Copies of this chain bind each other. A is one copy, B any other.
Amino acid sequence: MFTPGGVPAKVDPNGVYQVEQMYVQYFIPQNKRGALPLLMWHGGGLSGVTYETTPDGREGWLNYFLKRNWAVYNSDAVERGRAGWAMYPDVFKSEPVFLTKENPFERFRIGQGAGSYNKDPEKMKLMPGSLFPKEGYDNFTKQGVPRWTTTDDATIAAYTELVDRVCPCVVLVHSQAGSFGFKVAQARPDKVKALVLVEPAGIGDRKQVEKLKNVPMLAIYGDYIEGDARWPKIRANGVSFLAEAGKYGAKYEVIDLPKAGIKGNSHMIMMDRNSDQVAGLIQDWLAKQGLYR
């Protein structure tokens, strides 16, 4: 019975399933000023909602770039959000990961590590000077969706199809999508004309790093990295991968926000109170690449 008081239906689970599809929503401004479409790829346990609004209710990066007349393509990767997901272990190989409310708070350099979360925003132990809007933390956790760790190949295949369909383009990635951005740019170096990496959590294929030689890249990292258990290594991996590409001639820039005088950013830079300021750095860098008119 699908609906109480409805009419019973037989559902035969045997048959053909549609799996590994991806969802993309796009907005095309009437008078484009971005020279190419801007694709936004979200991080782990999240969906395209990442870029829509901030936890304190301001407009997110999607609107920021749309209002500057970029064509914006915002996606939900395979198994996230509107892309749907498939049964496990029958189709997907593992169980998904569900995150508690405590987890991103303590892992994303919003709070001061383990034990810093509290449901009362007044009692949350934030990083000193944090720009994360703590009063909206629940709004952020409502954006969380289960995620798998065994679907990367399908996600890369789907993003590659997207690039084949709508690019040449600029790809902006966050966190988990760091490795997707690098790898898809390596697979389609003629189509990804610039790569903006916001705290990339992974890298591309080290054996094919030469393929990035003509892809301008910008990496941005937030605050509180030195004191974190994992982020010094994650950042070092990203920067060394960029440096390898640089040996083959790739133009790249690394902005460590605190060194640029911008302090207080968590891993969720597009959610922090200064999200527009950081978007402005990206906008300026894209303009410098000749991608804005």
Identify the A interface with B (CB < 8 A): 1-9, 11-18, 21, 23, 25, 44, 47-49, 52, 76, 81-82, 84-87, 97-103, 107, 119, 138, 141-146, 149, 152, 176, 178-179, 201-203, 230, 233-234, 237
**Chain B residues, CB < 8 A from A14:** 100
**Chain B residues, CB < 8 A from A84:** 81, 142-146
Closest 3 CB pairs of A and B: A15-B100, A3-B202, A84-B145
Q: What are 29 A-B pairs at a CB distance below 8 A? A: A1-B149, A2-B97, A2-B149, A2-B176, A3-B152, A4-B202, A5-B237, A7-B233, A8-B230, A11-B97, A12-B100, A12-B102, A12-B103, A15-B100, A16-B100, A18-B101, A18-B138, A21-B142, A25-B52, A47-B82, A48-B82, A76-B81, A81-B81, A81-B84, A82-B82, A84-B142, A84-B146, A85-B145, A87-B98
- Contact A5 to B145, CB < 8 A, known contacts A13-B98, A97-B11, A102-B16: no
A235 CB to nearest B CB, Å: 10
- The answer to whether B18 and A82 touch across the interface, beta carbons within 8 angstroms, is no
**Chain B residues, CB < 8 A from A25:** 52
**Chain B residues, CB < 8 A from A99:** 11
Q: Binding site of A, secondary structure by majority: helix, strand, loop or mixed?
A: loop
Rounded to whole angstroms, the CA-CA distance of A145 and B13 in the bound complex is 14
**Chain B residues, CB < 8 A from A179:** 3-5
Rounded to whole angstroms, the CA-CA distance of A266 and B131 in the bound complex is 51
A268 CB to nearest B CB, Å: 15
A92 CB to nearest B CB, Å: 12
**Smallest Cβ-Cβ distance to A99: which chain B residue:** B11
Rounded to whole angstroms, the CA-CA distance of A285 and B287 in the bound complex is 49
- The answer to whether A119 and B16 touch across the interface, beta carbons within 8 angstroms, is yes
Rounded to whole angstroms, the CA-CA distance of A75 and B268 in the bound complex is 24
- The answer to whether A5 and B52 touch across the interface, beta carbons within 8 angstroms, is no
Seed contacts A5-B237, A18-B138; 11 additional CB < 8 Å A-B pairs: A4-B179, A7-B230, A9-B230, A15-B102, A16-B119, A17-B100, A21-B142, A49-B82, A81-B82, A82-B143, A84-B144
A86 CB to nearest B CB, Å: 7
